[in-house]
Structure 1
Amino acid sequence: MSKAPVHPNHRLQRDYPAKVRFCPLCGGSMAPRLILPDNVTRKVCDACGFVHFPGPKLVAGCLVIDHGKVLLLRRGIEPARGKWTFPGGYVDLGENAADAALRETREEVGMRVELGSVLGVLGDTANPSLTLVVYLARPLDYPAMTSEEATEVQFFAPDEIPWSELAFPTTVDALTAWIANARKRD
């Protein structure tokens, strides 16, 4: 019997790995235990002994730049629905970050882009379960389109960016780095 497709609850996804309660191997309950020789506490399965070593989820995105302006989208989904950010999302298992950045840009704003250099690899102290790889990119086709994930799309010059309406600390960090790099080249 097949079940209906679902939309992932991205707010809930951010609870991983902090709220893991059951072993992914045997389903047994997990409890914090001291792990030697590192002397760190990790969740350990009471039944099979599996140790959960959490690592960050990788996210990849593009700052699409055209004539000195950056493409931002207004988020249509949680978290941060209604706030501005750049195209990006989770890297799938077996996918590299560059391919994920291209895929997410196409899915969210309907644009094919050409990747340039890596702008940076960013962490978010408010959400340490994510690490973000941000690429600079240039558009190969127009126009950017809206989608379920992007209710509005717009190019912004640095002095037009809606700073008080940005979605995440990493959005601020990436845009700040882009502006600083652009000023160095001028």
Structure 2
Amino acid sequence: MEQKWLKWAKEIQALAQAGLAYSNNVYDSERYEQLRELSKEIMASYTSVSMEKLDELFTNEVGYQTPKVDIRAFIVENGKLLLVQEKIDGKWALPGGWADVGLSPSEIAVKESVEEANIVVKPKRVLAIYDYLKHEHPPSPYHVYKIFILCERTGGDLKGGLETHQVKFFSPDQLPELSVERNTKAQILQLWEDVSHNRQLTRLD
């Protein structure tokens, strides 16, 4: 469950961002700026994120605030699951990243698989759409929806990329240390069971 201080800070930020986008009153805009500063102060007080980084996170978003979307490719071969080692924390994750404007979820899964694992994949179906807040992820300044897409490798040789060190296949009972901001062990094992038993369903939330 998300901590209350983080929930409040994000809600204040969302209200401030919407107010700055739609208000035509200079005095109201000043109040919304104050609210945004307050949300940043709360974040900075309870996390290790600097005010400079929070400025970047909060001021690069404009208009009505909506959840961000993270796409992950779930690739299984010979009873093993493909994971990439992230350079940012040295831990392991399914290939993936933020959705890009102009690309569909399937196209993002293909793009990220090439960039992070040097392989070509064919997206098959959506396995899950998870809400970041309802899973055991660390606190985040963003509200995130995570889309996991079952993919089939059609080409390429395993190799790391600009954001990844290594690329390997792992058995579900021998998973390495996971980058839990990106995917949790519970998520991976649940989706592994679904794929292994050919369950034709999409998990929600």
Question: Which structure 2 residue ranges, 5 or more long, are not aligned?
Answer: 1-8, 37-61, 134-138, 200-205
Corresponding residue of 2:173:
159
Corresponding residue of 2:97:
89
By percentage of residues, which structure has more helix?
2
Residues 33-182 of structure 1: pairs in structure 2 closer than 5 A: 53-77=64-88, 81-125=89-133, 126-127=139-140, 129-162=143-176, 165-168=177-180, 171-172=183-184, 173-182=186-195
CA distance in 1, matches of 2:194, 2:114: 25
Contact kept, 8 Å, 1:119 with 1:174, in 2: the verdict is: no
**1:120 deviation in Å?**
0.3
TM-score normalised according to structure 2 size: 0.62
TM-score normalised according to structure 1 size: 0.68
Structure-2 change in CA distance of 1:64 and 1:16 (3 Å): farther
By percentage of residues, which structure has more strand?
1
Deviates more, 1:16-25 or 1:91-100: 16-25
> What secondary structure is seen at the aligned counterpart in 1 of 2:183?
helix
Identity of aligned residues (%): 23
Question: Which structure 1 residue ranges, 5 or more long, are not aligned?
Answer: 1-14, 34-50
Contact kept, 8 Å, 1:122 with 1:170, in 2: the verdict is: no
CA distance in 2, matches of 1:89, 1:16: 21
CA distance in 1, matches of 2:158, 2:12: 36
Pairs aligned (count)? 150
Q: CA RMSD in A?
A: 3.2
